[in-house]
Amino acid sequence: MADPKMMFEGLAVALVTPYRNGLVDLVALARLTNHVVEGGTRALYPCGCTGEATSLTREEREQVIRTVIEAARGRASVIPGTGTAVTSETIELSQEAIRLGADGVMVITPYSCRPTQEGLLAHYRAVADRIDRPMVLYNVPSRTGVSLAPETIAKLAEHPRIAAIKEASGSLEQASAIRARSGIAILAGDDALYLPLLAVGARGVVSVAGHLVPREMDAIHAHASAGRFAEAETIHRKLTPLFRALFLETNPAPVKHALMRLGMMAGELRLPLVPVRAETAAIIEQTLERIGVAAPVRSGG
pLDDT digits (tens, 9 = 90+) for 211-232: 999 999 999 999 999 999 999 9
**Is 138 considered catalytic here?**
yes
Catalytic pick among 45, 124, 166, 194: 166
In a domain, 112, yes or no: yes
Q: Which domain holds residue 58?
A: 8-291
DSSP track, 117-186: HHHHHHHHHHHHTT-SS-EEEEE-HHHHS----HHHHHHHTTSTTEEEEEE-S--HHHHHHHHHH--PEE
In a domain, 82, yes or no: yes
Mean pLDDT of 78-83: 98
Mean pLDDT of 103-127: 97
pLDDT band at 289 (very low <50, low <70, confident <90, very high): very high
**Residue 294: predicted pLDDT:** 76
pLDDT band at 291 (very low <50, low <70, confident <90, very high): very high
Is pLDDT above 70 for 204? yes
Whole-number CA gyration radius for the chain: 18
**Is 256 considered catalytic here?**
no
In a domain, 300, yes or no: no
* Share of residues in the chain with pLDDT > 70 (%): 96
**Residue 6: predicted pLDDT:** 73
Residues 256-283 pLDDT 10s: 999 999 999 999 999 999 999 999 999 9
Is pLDDT above 70 for 297? no
Backbone angles phi, psi at 165, to 5 degrees: -135, 130
**Residue 300: predicted pLDDT:** 44
Mean pLDDT of 19-31: 97
**Residue 5: predicted pLDDT:** 61
The candidate with the shortest Cα–Cα distance to 248, out of 277, 270, 291, is 277
Is pLDDT above 70 for 299? no
In a domain, 59, yes or no: yes
The C-alpha torsion from 52 through 58 and 59 to 65, rounded to 10°, is 60
The identity of residue 247, as a single letter, is: F
**Number of structural domains found in the chain:** 1
Is pLDDT above 60 for 57? yes
Read off the CATH number of the domain in which 255 is found: 3.20.20.70
44 neighbors 76 (Cβ within 8 angstroms):
yes
Is pLDDT above 90 for 296? no
Mean pLDDT (the chain) is 95
pLDDT band at 17 (very low <50, low <70, confident <90, very high): very high
In a domain, 2, yes or no: no
In a domain, 3, yes or no: no
In a domain, 296, yes or no: no
* Share of residues in the chain with pLDDT > 90 (%): 94
Catalytic pick among 138, 155, 194, 256: 138
**Residue 62: predicted pLDDT:** 98
| More confident call, 116 vs 297 | 116
In a domain, 62, yes or no: yes
**Residue 3: predicted pLDDT:** 60
**Residue 157: predicted pLDDT:** 97
Distance CA 57, CA 63 (A): 10
Distance CA 36, CA 42 (A): 9
Mean pLDDT of 30-34: 97
The candidate with the shortest Cα–Cα distance to 50, out of 217, 253, 248, 237, is 253
**Residue 301: predicted pLDDT:** 40
Contacts 24+ apart (CB under 8 A), 280-286: 280/245, 280/248, 280/249, 280/254, 281/257, 283/245, 283/248, 284/245, 284/246, 284/248, 284/254, 284/257, 284/258, 285/258, 285/261
